């Protein structure tokens, strides 16, 4: 096998990446006759093109690829789909697309091309079927997408507040239901748990209501916006619970149109 093997890697937050041998063992649970040469080749290719590349968490990109592949293997996907999971981030490198087809065949190359753009829908989820069965092309792509999202949710703390909220909403609305429809209930539960933790956090609540107030300020005359947004934000911070912050934001939402009209007609207001 070319290149050094990735040892079991653990981040500062305790996120752990399986070693290559652990990945191979996961594949063999559902596919005892796995072609280890194919899997080794995909691992070596991923290690080659991701060498020196790090994620926001400080983890090697290769660790992410191996973790995604391990999740796919635990879902019972066949070895060629696991190989595609190992290679799923090659689009972010200088690896020529035709190289994958030459080394691993057209099926894996087609999977990699489809991953970024394939629709996420219930028919694909239903087609995942029973672990060990040959999945449809769409189901194989979906399995990789779900595994990728699951690991990204495990490391979501390294994203900005706004990005965490957007990703958590999408996970609850799209990815968790798809995983449930596919029969991957353990994946669905973890996705929902991780996303809900983000959405329940005080930081997320402040981010949502704060953005709402910023949008409402756009209804006011330009010279008045910063003053009122600062005043609203100061009062928002004084509310200690999510419920009271939401109620305050609703009150601002209700009164902003009338405030906007009043600020745009100062002369009429003074005469009344």
- Separation of CA 29 from chain center: 27
d(CA 74, CA 28): 10
- The four Cα atoms 115, 120, 126, 128 give a dihedral, to 10 degrees, of 20
Contact, 48 vs 100, CB < 8 A? no
d(CA 199, CA 204): 6
List the alpha helices (DSSP H) in the chain. Answer: 20-30, 36-49, 61-74, 79-86, 97-104, 106-114, 122-126, 137-154, 161-170, 176-181, 185-200, 202-217, 222-238, 242-264, 266-271
Q: Which of 21, 91, 121, 268 is catalytic?
A: 91
* CB-based contacts of 20, cutoff 8 Å, min separation 6: 5, 6, 40, 43, 66
Q: Is 121 a catalytic residue?
A: no
- The four Cα atoms 51, 190, 156, 216 give a dihedral, to 10 degrees, of 150
- 54 forms bridges with which residues in the sheet? 60
Q: Which of 21, 92, 121, 173 is catalytic?
A: 92
Q: Is 92 a catalytic residue?
A: yes
d(CA 87, CA 81): 10
d(CA 181, CA 116): 21
Residues marked as catalytic: 91-92
């Amino acid at each position: 096998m070319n290149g050094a093997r990735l040892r079991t890697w653990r981040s500062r937050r305790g996120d752990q990446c399986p070693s290559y041998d652990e990945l191979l063992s996961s594949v063999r649970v559902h596919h005892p006759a796995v072609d280890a040469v194919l899997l080794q080749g995909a691992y070596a290719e991923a290690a080659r093109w991701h060498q020196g590349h790090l994620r926001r968490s400080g983890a090697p990109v290769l660790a992410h690829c191996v973790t995604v592949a391990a999740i796919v293997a635990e879902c019972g996907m066949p070895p060629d789909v696991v190989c595609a999971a190992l290679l799923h981030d090659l689009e972010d490198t200088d690896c020529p697309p035709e190289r994958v087809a030459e080394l691993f065949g057209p099926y894996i190359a087609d999977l990699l091309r489809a991953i970024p753009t394939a629709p996420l829908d219930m028919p694909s989820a239903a087609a995942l079927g029973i672990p060990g069965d040959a999945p449809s092309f769409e189901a194989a792509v979906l399995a990789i997408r779900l595994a990728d999202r699951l690991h990204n949710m495990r490391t979501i703390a390294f994203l900005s507040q706004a990005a965490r909220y957007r990703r958590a909403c999408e996970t609850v609305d799209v990815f968790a239901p798809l995983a449930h429809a596919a029969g991957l209930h353990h994946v669905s539960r973890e996705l929902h748990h991780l996303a809900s933790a983000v959405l329940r956090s005080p930081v997320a609540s402040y981010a949502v209501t704060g953005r709402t107030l910023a949008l409402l300020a756009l209804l006011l005359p330009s010279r008045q916006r910063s003053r009122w947004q600062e005043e609203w934000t100061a009062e928002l911070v004084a509310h200690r619970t999510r419920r009271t912050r939401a109620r305050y934001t609703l009150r601002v939402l209700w009164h902003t149109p009338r405030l906007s009209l009043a600020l745009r007609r100062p002369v009429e207001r003074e005469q009344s």
